[in-house]
Amino acid sequence: MVNVPRLVIAAPASGSGKTTVATGLMAAFSERGLAVSPHKVGPDYIDPGYHALAVSPGASGASGAAGAAGSADRVRPGRNLDAYMCGPGLIGPLFAHGAAGCDLAVVEGVMGLYDGASGQGELASTAQVSKLLRAPVVLVVDASSQSRSVAALVHGFASWDPEVRIGGVILNKVATDRHERLLRDALDESGVPVMGVLRRADGVTAPSRHLGLVPVAERRAEAVGSMRELAARVRAGCDLEALLALARSAPALDVTPWEPAVEPVAPVAGAGRPVVAVAGGSAFTFSYAEHTELLTAAGADVVPFDPLRDEELPEGTRGLVIGGGFPEVYAPELSANEPLRKAVAELAHSGAPVAAECAGLLYLARSLDGAPMCGVLAADARMSGRLTLGYREAVAVGDSALARAGTRVRGHEFHRTVLEPGAGAAPAWGVVHPERRVEGFVQQGVHASYLHTHWAAAPELARRFVERCLVERCTT
C-alpha cells in the first residue's frame, strides 16, 4: 500500500494556468520543508524541468529543513504519467516509484481535465490519471472573462464524471477585489470550495517558442528568480493548509512501486560495465528519468555529456543515447563543435549502438537548416511551418540495437522539422496508427527516429541496448 498525500492540478482547458499553479505549489510546499514529488500527465518534457527546479533545494528560497520523510534536500526529477504510452496499469506503480519517501505529490494535468488521446475516450486524460491514483483534483479556472458563470462551469466539470473528485478551485487571473467577491459569491452554492485566488501578473511566466515553454536548462538563473516569485505569489494567494488537508484525504493506493527490474546483462570477462553516454545540456533536454534507471539496472554506467560544450564523448563510451530537444535553436553551435561531431560519427560507423529520438535524429543527419551535423544518416533536416504532434502506435520493422523485429510500442511525435528522406532503406518503425507509414533509420548499430518512446513500458529495449554495447566491445 502507498499512502502519499497527493493532488492533481487540472483545468477546463489549456492556457488556464495549470503550470503556473502546479509549479508554484511545488515550490511553496518545498519552501516549507516538505519533500515534494513532482509529476506531469502526458508526454510533456518541458514542464517536468520546471517541476524539478521547483522542488530542488534553494530554488524557491527554501531553508533546506527536512520534511517528515527526512528527504527535502534530495533532488527529484519531474516524472511523467502517460497512460497511453505506458498503459493505465503502470500509472500507479510509476507514481509510487517517483513519490517514494515524499511528504506530498503534486501532479500537473494535461490540456483540459477530460481531454485524452484523440478518439480514445478518457485514455491518457488527466481525469483518468486522477482516478487511477484516487487523487483529489484542484481545478484551476481562468476567471479573466467571467463572474457568475464560473459556478456553472465548475458545476459541470464536478458532475460530469462522479468518479472524479474535484476537491477545490483556484481562481486565476482575477482582476480586482470586486471581481473576486463576485466569483466567490457565485461559487458559494457550487459545493466546491475556493482554495486560492491569483491576480493577473506578468512577471512570473516563462517565455515560449515554437514547441511551448523554453526549457529551464536554457534559462536556469532567470528561472530560479521567477520560481521564488512564483512561490511567494502562490503562498500569498492560496490556502496551503486547506490544500495540504485535501491532499492528505486521498486514500491509500493499493499498488506495488515500479522498479527498473530488468535482468542485468551478463558481464564480459575483462570488459567491466559499459559506458553509455547520454546527451544533455541546453540542446537535448527531453528525457525520461526511467530510461537512465533502466540502463543502469541493465548493467551500464550512464554518463551525461553536453554536445554544445564537450569536444569528446565520455571516456570508454560503448553506446550513445541522444534524446529530444531543440537542436534547431542551437544548430550553428552544434555544427561548430566539429571534434564531437567527428567522434559521434566514428562511434556510429564502428557499429556501436546509438539510440536517437527526434532531436537526436536531426543531430545524426547530414545537415540541419544548412548547418553540417554528424553526417551519420544520408538525410537533411529543416524547420517547417507545420507542427507534427500526436500519439502513435508502431512496430519495429527489423532487428536493431534497440528492438527486435515485431516489437510493438506506443510513442509520441512532437516537432516542427522535416527530414528528407524521412526513412532509410531499413526503417526504424512502421507506424500503424493513426496512419500507416514507415519512418526512421536503422543502419549498423544506429536506431534513429522521430518517435519518442517510454522505456518503462518496454524495459527490454534498455536491456537489448546494453547487451549490444557488450557485444560490440567483443567484436571491435
* Catalytic (active-site) positions: 358
Q: Residue 374 has which C-alpha cell?
A: 554528424
Q: What is the DSSP letter of 328?
A: T
Give the H/E segment covering residue 381: strand 380-396
Q: Where are the beta strands (DSSP E) in 242-365?
A: 275-279, 301-305, 317-322, 354-357
Give the H/E segment covering residue 137: strand 137-142
**Cβ proximity of 419 and 381 under 8 Å:** yes
Please provide the distance, in angstroms rounded to a whole number, between the alpha carbons at the two ends of the chain: 48
d(CA 129, CA 149): 27
**SS3 assignment, position 153:** helix
d(CA 122, CA 17): 22
Q: Residue 465 has which C-alpha cell?
A: 541496448
User: What does the DSSP assignment read for 423-453?
Assistant: B-SS-SEEEEESS-EEEBEEETTEEEES-EE
